[in-house]
Amino acid sequence: MTQSHNCKNELNDVELRATPARLAVMKLLETSSKPIDVQTIISFLEKKDIKADPATVFRIVNMFTEKGLVKPIQLHEGKFRYELANIADHHHLMCNICGDIEDISDCNIDALEKDIKKKKQFTVTSHSLEFFGLCSNCQK
Amino acid sequence: MTQSHNCKNELNDVELRATPARLAVMKLLETSSKPIDVQTIISFLEKKDIKADPATVFRIVNMFTEKGLVKPIQLHEGKFRYELANIADHHHLMCNICGDIEDISDCNIDALEKDIKKKKQFTVTSHSLEFFGLCSNCQK
DNA sequence: TGACAAATGCAATTAAATTGCATATACTAA
DNA sequence: TTAGTATATGCAATTTAATTGCATTTGTCA
C-alpha cells in the first residue's frame, strides 16, 4: 500500500520510535511556515492534550537535529528555533520591529562555498544566512 | 593634538563614560581576530586585574551593541559572541570538530539585499552569514 | 503477548543573561 | 582642584534556556 506522507515513516527511517509527542512535533514543523521555538512546541502540545515535559521537548528537538530531521536556527533571540531540514535551501527575513519572520530563497550560495573551499581549504557542510531589518508593514 | 587611535574617544563619541572595564573590553575586541564571548572577556579582565562582575560585562556588551560599537554573533553555541562593528563586512567559518573560527570576506551580499528589497519590500539593516564545516586541519 | 531497549516524567542542576537597588566613580562646571 | 550629579558598577536574586540522572513507562519486535 502506497502512502502519501507519514510522520511515522520519517521517524522509522532514522530509527526513532513513533511516540505521540514526536509525531505531534513533526506535524507542527511540517505545517509551520516559520522556524519554531521550544516554548511554542510546548504550548502546541498542551493545546492538543499531549502532555510532554519541557525536558522531553528539548530531547526531541535535539534528537531530531542529531538525526538530520530538523535544522536549528538562531535569530539573535538567545534561543533556538527549529525547522524541517529537508526543505529547499532558503533564509529568513526577521523584522526588527514586529519580529515577524519571512522566508527568502535563491541566494545562490553554492558559488561562495566553492570559493571558500578553494581559498581556505574549508569544507562547508552547512550555513546560515539571516537578514534583519524592516518588513513592509513596519516601514510605514 | 592629533591622536592615532584611542578607545576613550570611541566611547566619548557614543556618550559612554570611559571606565577601566569598558576600555579593556574595547582593547580586547580590537586585538582579537575572532568574535569573543562573555566568559572570555571575564577571564581577560581577571588576568589584567580589572575586577568586573559578570553582570557588568553583560551590561557592557549590551551597551556597546546598542551604541553600534559591536555586533553580536551567533555560532550555534547557545550564547553570543561579539566583534567590532566598524570592520569590513565579513563572515565566519566555524569548524565542527575543533571549533576554530576563521574569517571570510567578499560575499557580495549587497546584490541579494537589493533583490530582497525589490521582491519583498523588506529593508535589510543587517545580516549574518555563517558557515559550518571542516577546517583544513580537521579534514585529515 | 512478553521482553527489552528506548523514551518520558520529574526534580535537580547548569549556564546565559537580566534586574533592582545601594554604592562607587567618571565627568562637568565652578 | 573640588563638589555635584548622572552614570556605571557590585552584589544578590531572579529569569530563561537547556541539560542531566534516575526511576518509570511505553513502543517495537520476536
DSSP secondary structure string for all residues of B44-108: HHHHTT----HHHHHHHHHHHHHTTSEEEEE-SSSSEEEEETTS-S-EEEEETTT--EEEE----
Cell numbers placing A21: 509527542
pLDDT digits (tens, 9 = 90+) for B41-86: 999 999 999 999 999 999 999 999 999 999 999 999 999 999 999 9
User: In this predicted structure, what is the pLDDT of residue B4?
Assistant: 45
Record: contact B121-A127, CB cut-off 8 A: no
Of the options 1.25.40.10, 3.40.50.720, 1.10.10.10, 2.60.40.1180, the CATH number for the domain spanning B1-87 = 1.10.10.10
Min Cα separation A78/chain B (Å): 7
Record: contact B120-A93, CB cut-off 8 A: yes
Cell numbers placing B98: 575543533
Of the options 1.20.910.10, 1.10.10.10, 3.30.420.40, 1.10.3720.10, the CATH number for the domain spanning A1-85 = 1.10.10.10
Among left, alpha and beta (phi > 0; psi -120 to 50; other), residue A78 is left
Say yes or no to pLDDT of B3 above 70: no
Q: For A34, what's the count of Cα atoms within 13 Å in the CB-facing half-sphere?
A: 14
- First-to-last alpha carbon distance for chain B, in angstroms, is 54
Distance, CA of A72 to CA of A60 (rounded, Å): 12
Distance, CA of B26 to CA of A29 (rounded, Å): 42
Asked whether B34 and B103 are in contact (CB, 8 A), the reply is: yes
Closest CA to B82 of B16, B6, B22, B17: B22
Q: Per CB distance under 8 Å, which residues of B are interface residues toward A?
A: 72, 74, 76, 78, 80, 93, 95-96, 102, 104, 106-107, 112-113, 115-116, 119-136, 139
Q: What is the mean pLDDT of each run of 10 residues along chain A (140 residues)?
A: 67 95 98 96 97 97 97 97 95 95 87 94 95 94
User: In this predicted structure, what is the pLDDT of residue A3?
Assistant: 44
Q: Is the CB of B79 under 7 A from strand D?
A: no
What is the distance, to the nearest Å, from the Cα of residue B133 to the centroid of all Cα atoms in its chain? 21
User: In this predicted structure, what is the pLDDT of residue B2?
Assistant: 37
Of the partner residues A122, A127, A131, the one whose CB lies closest to the CB of residue B135: A122
Pairing state between β B80-84 and B91-95: unpaired
Strand D, nucleotides < 7 Å from a protein CB: these are 7-13, 16-21, 26-29
Q: With respect to CATH, is domain B88-140 assigned 3.30.1490.190? A: yes
Residue of chain B whose alpha carbon sits nearest to that of A82: B76
Cell numbers placing A23: 509525531
For residue A107, give the amino acid letter. C
User: In this predicted structure, what is the pLDDT of residue B108?
Assistant: 80
Per-domain boundaries in chain B: 1-87, 88-140
Say yes or no to pLDDT of B140 above 90: no
Of the partner residues A96, A102, A126, the one whose CB lies closest to the CB of residue B132: A126
Distance of B17 CA from D5 C1′ (whole Å)? 14
